[in-house]
Amino acid sequence: MAKDEKNFGALSAGDWSALRQQFPILRKGDLCYLDNAATTHKPSSVIEAMEHFYRAENATVHRGAYALAEKASLRMESVREQMAQFMGVESHEVVFTSGTTHSLNIIAQGLPDQFLKEGDEIVVCPSAHHANLIPWQELSRRTGAALRFLDLIPDQLTWDLDQAKKIIGDKTKLVAVAHTSNSTGIRYPFETLVHLAHDAGALFILDAAQAPLGEALHFGRSGVDFAAFSGHKMFGPTGIGILYGKAAKLASLRPDRYGGDMIRNVTFQQATYAEGPRRFEGGTPHLAGIIGLGQAIQFIEHIGIDPMRSRCSSLVKRARSLLLEDGWKVLGSQSTSSILSFYDDGIHPHDIATLLNQDGIAIRAGHHCAHPFMRSLGLSGTARLSFAAYNTMKEVDQLMDSLKKIRTLFS
């Protein structure tokens, strides 16, 4: 680990060119990667820590009495502590999962049977990623509780809080919304909904997939009951994610899988289950992923979330202004994150993405796993830019040059 720390120890805040050099995939210089909302690239420190684990420290956790296994267990728990600090919560409220989708499904499938019944309501957002919609659709189908949707203010595409106040009430048992829309980049005022949900006696669940690089997380302070996000969107590895839950709320959930490592006592006829996060961590964890995630947190904290956010804001601001200047339509009246969605009625987003790819530019095109939302806007999809701190103004210019060629081709 000392080697990894040295790797970015010389990196000073604001030295964006040096930051970019930390990412092996970007060093060659021919990739203009603007799809960071899908997944970010990984710095050397993350890659090397994972490789080092497999090369020198590999063992499973919580079950070996030998030094290697004990060390692996300590590493896992130290990352849990690190993650707890990163989120502003207690470590026994941090569950390692495979990612946002898994985390949200643990909640939706783990709520007690009596929690919802016919006549109850689940409040969700129309722009929800499928991962924060389908689990609630299924829960609604199983229990008879109805889904209710927040209204979005036309063009602005942020929440209509007056309508939210009207629909969140006695019947509401659960409010599940996103921190930031993955399709528009709008950062929602979720803190207001936490209060509305709690005043109504409802659970509040936050899809925080796009949050970790956008701002410091204060889940404890904001009062959310559950939050979910993935490691791979924050410079960490794929296959590892986080479920945060207030201790009492976590304890109320059924485990989503049963087996080794999540038990307290087992007889031939029955079993009792571990308390805290381990209740949801049956089986061998993705330990290399957890170690990589720990390194990703260190990397983020070393650079600082505020400078990264400020850098991404400048990139988005410039891209937005140039896109509008060139006649492209942009979703939402303002982008409050590193994500920006644009479109043109005469050019399909997939054609834009394929043609940009021919110029070495990677963007996402389509419905962004928010298909009902895109349909409600009368769109089959958009082209989406999403920046990370390693992106450059030069890349924005490269994008705009390429888009000009595309417009000419389709004119």
Partner 1 sequence: MDLYHPRILELSKEPVNFRKNEEAEFKAHAYNPLCGDEFTIYLDDGRTVGLKVSFHGYGCAVSKASAALLTQSLEGEDLKGALQKIEHFMECFESKADTGNADLNLLLAARDFPSRRSCALQAWQECQKTLSAIKKTG
- Catalytic positions are 369
Q: CA-CA distance, 312 to 337, in Å (whole number)?
A: 8
| Minimum distance from residue 381 beta carbon to partner 1 (Å) | 6
Helix (H) or strand (E) segment spanning residue 289: helix 287-303
Instruction: Closer to partner 1 by CB, 217 or 369: give it.
Output: 369
In angstroms, give the least distance from the CB of 367 to partner 1: 5
Q: Least distance (Å) from partner 1 to the CB of residue 233?
A: 20
Q: Is 374 in the site for partner 1 (CB under 8 A)?
A: yes
Site for partner 1 in 346-365 (CB under 8 A): 348-351, 354-355, 365
* 381 part of the interface to partner 1, by CB under 8 A: yes
Helix (H) or strand (E) holding 330: strand 329-330
Angstrom distance (rounded) from CA 287 to CA 45: 16
Minimum distance of partner 1 from residue 368's CB (angstroms): 10
- Cα-based angle 203, 336, 161 (whole degrees, multiple of 5): 45
Pairing mode of beta strands 329-330, 361-362: unpaired
Quick check: helix, strand or coil at residue 187? Answer: strand
Beta-bridge partner residues of 273:
263
Record the tokens describing residue 292, joined without a space: 């990589």
Backbone angle region of 229, left / alpha / beta, with phi > 0 → left and psi within -120 to 50 → alpha: beta
Beta carbon of residue 57, minimum distance to partner 1 (angstroms, whole number): 37
Dist CA 152 CA 335 (whole Å): 15
Cβ closest to partner 1, residue 167 vs residue 383:
383
Up-side HSE of residue 111: CA atoms within 13 Å toward CB? 24
What the block records as the tokens of 226 is 């559950």
Contact between 380 and partner 1 (CB under 8 A)? yes
* Minimum CB–partner distance for residue 131 and partner 1 (Å): 15
CB-wise, 77 or 351, nearer to partner 1? 351
CB of 297 to partner 1, least distance (A): 33
Considering the complex, state which of residue 307 and residue 372 has its C-beta at the smaller distance from partner 1: 372
Report how far residue 76's alpha carbon sits from residue 43's, in angstroms, rounded to the nearest whole number: 20
- Quick one: which of 117, 165, 375, 404 contacts partner 1 (CB under 8 A)? 375
Minimum CB distance to partner 1 smaller for 294 or for 381: 381
The count of residues interacting with partner 1 (CB under 8 A) is 16
Q: Is 35 in the site for partner 1 (CB under 8 A)?
A: no
Q: For residue 184, how far is the Cα from the chain centroid?
A: 14
Tell me whether residue 195 or residue 405 sits nearer to partner 1 (CB atom).
405
- SS3 of 317, please? helix
Comparing CA positions, the residue from 321, 331, 334, 345 lying closest to residue 399 is 321
Q: Rule CB under 8 A: is residue 371 a binding residue for partner 1?
A: yes
399 HSE (CA, 13 A, CB side): 31
| CB of 176 vs partner 1, minimal distance in Å | 23
Q: Which of 366, 384, 391, 403 binds partner 1 (CB under 8 A)?
A: 366
The rounded distance, in Å, linking the Cα atoms of 44 and 35 is: 19
Residue (166 or 405) nearer to partner 1, CB: 405
Q: Which of 367, 392, 400, 407 binds partner 1 (CB under 8 A)?
A: 367
Alpha helices in 113-252 (DSSP H): 134-143, 161-167, 190-199, 219-222, 247-252
Which pair of tokens denotes residue 45? 């420190």
User: Which residues 291-350 are close enough to bind partner 1 by CB under 8 A?
Assistant: 348-350
C-beta closer to partner 1: residue 106 or 374 = 374
Q: Which residues are CB-contacts of 21 (< 8 A; sequence separation ≥ 6)?
A: 27
> Which residues of the shown chain bind partner 1 in the complex (CB under 8 A)?
348-351, 354-355, 365-367, 371, 374-375, 380-381, 409-410
